[in-house]
Amino acid sequence: MKVAVVGATGLVGSKMLQVLAERNFPVTELIPVASEKSVGKEVEFKGKKYKVVSMADAIALKPAVAIFSAGGSTSLEWAPKFAEAGIRVVDNSSAWRMDATKKLVVPEVNAAVLTKDDYIIANPNCSTIQMVVALQPLHKKYIIKRVIVSTYQSVTGTGKKAVDQLFGERAKAENGSVAEYPMAYKYPIDLNVIPQIDVFLENGYTKEEMKMVNETKKIMQDEAIKVTATTVRIPVIGGHSESVNIEFENEFDIEEIKVLLANAPGIIVQNDDAAQIYPMPLWAHDKDEVFVGRLRRDETQPKTLNMWIVSDNLRKGAATNAVQIAEYLVNTGLL
């Protein structure tokens, strides 16, 4: 099977190559694709070197599937051209997520919505993905009325420039380094917390916060779920963390919640107060699962649960989820 990875030289694109190899996706020929300035460069996949090609050349090579991680404007321009050529596209940008004609998919939650007619499939926002994986088994059992989420998001969610800023600031603080580093953020990120991810909208929320609101409803196919979010960038690498408060329509039992989550696909429960075991980016780094812990009843109102969710945003929050969508297409004969 010919597989194209669009944006193969970027942070997420590199992770996609790693995930494709680790999960033994049936790649017979890899087609790495990137911007014109990267054409001719080499990437490594399963011990072999592959030359980066242009978008037009990739289409001419007729891959069965193209996994995109090259930004919204690139996806808007090129995903339809790949689709017109009969190539299925799994797109990691925000370009198609809220398009009513496109499916927004987290395989553990709603893969069954995919059909033979879906040639452009949207991969959700990283912070949304990990949250809905944990919400879905609880919604099926108790029916979620309202979700309040505050995120603690890794700098890797912004990209290489942000990682370079963090380590540049750290080097300057630790050893007086005078080496220049880029500024991905308006403010320092090391030893700081920035309560803004993406641009502010007219309602006072950021674009990232509204992505969590709107994408959750679409993925879980329930417009009645109320979601409010505060998204925050922290000086961490390895994954995003989320504090989530969930109000249910029906009463629940904490022990039953633990069992439901432990038995749900893609979730690992780390919830041992006595041993001080709970999810952390340090443990989630380079893992595919969503880690859930700090499970406790909200004592201020009935039928309400608090929990803590952590996942590697470059893997389950981006690359792994996209590859899992492609795996579903293979396993159901759609690819």
Q: Are residues 205 and 279 in the same domain?
A: yes
Closest residue by Cα to residue 92 from 66, 69, 121: 69
- CA–CA gap between residue 67 and residue 16 (Å, rounded): 8
Here the CATH number for the domain that contains residue 271 is 3.30.360.10
Q: Are residues 292 and 249 in the same domain?
A: yes
- CA–CA gap between residue 120 and residue 82 (Å, rounded): 9
pLDDT of residue 77: 97
Instruction: Give the number of other CB atoms < 10 A from CB of residue 85.
Output: 14
Residue span of the structural domain in which 286 resides: 128-313
* Tokens found for residue 205: 């929320």
Q: Are residues 135 and 269 in the same domain?
A: yes
Sign of CA dihedral 189, 195, 198, 199: negative
Q: Are residues 220 and 158 in the same domain?
A: yes
Q: Are residues 72 and 166 in the same domain?
A: no
Q: Are residues 135 and 102 in the same domain?
A: no
- CA–CA gap between residue 319 and residue 317 (Å, rounded): 7
Per-residue pLDDT of the chain (335 residues; tens, 9 = 90+): 999 999 999 989 999 999 999 999 999 999 999 999 999 999 999 999 999 999 999 999 999 999 999 999 999 999 999 999 999 999 999 999 999 999 999 999 999 999 999 999 999 999 999 999 999 999 999 999 999 999 999 999 999 999 999 999 999 999 999 999 999 999 999 999 999 999 999 999 999 999 999 999 999 999 999 999 999 999 999 999 999 999 999 999 999 999 999 999 999 999 999 999 999 999 999 999 999 999 999 999 999 999 999 999 999 999 999 999 999 999 999 99
pLDDT of residue 292: 98
Q: Are residues 99 and 171 in the same domain?
A: no
- Return the active site residues: 126, 240
Q: Are residues 67 and 139 in the same domain?
A: no
Q: Are residues 175 and 292 in the same domain?
A: yes
Q: Are residues 78 and 155 in the same domain?
A: no
Could you give the number of structural domains in the chain? 2
How far does CA 79 lie from the centroid of its chain? 19
pTM passes above 0.85 = yes
Here the CATH number for the domain that contains residue 77 is 3.40.50.720
Residue 293, burial from CB neighbour count under 10 angstroms (0-12, 13-18, 19+): buried
End-to-end CA distance of the chain: 9
Rounded alpha-carbon distances, angstroms, from residue 25 to 33, 86, 100, 276, 326: 18, 20, 29, 37, 9
- CA–CA gap between residue 24 and residue 43 (Å, rounded): 18
Q: Strand, helix or coil at 245?
A: strand
pLDDT of residue 222: 97
Q: Are residues 200 and 75 in the same domain?
A: no
Q: Are residues 119 and 55 in the same domain?
A: yes
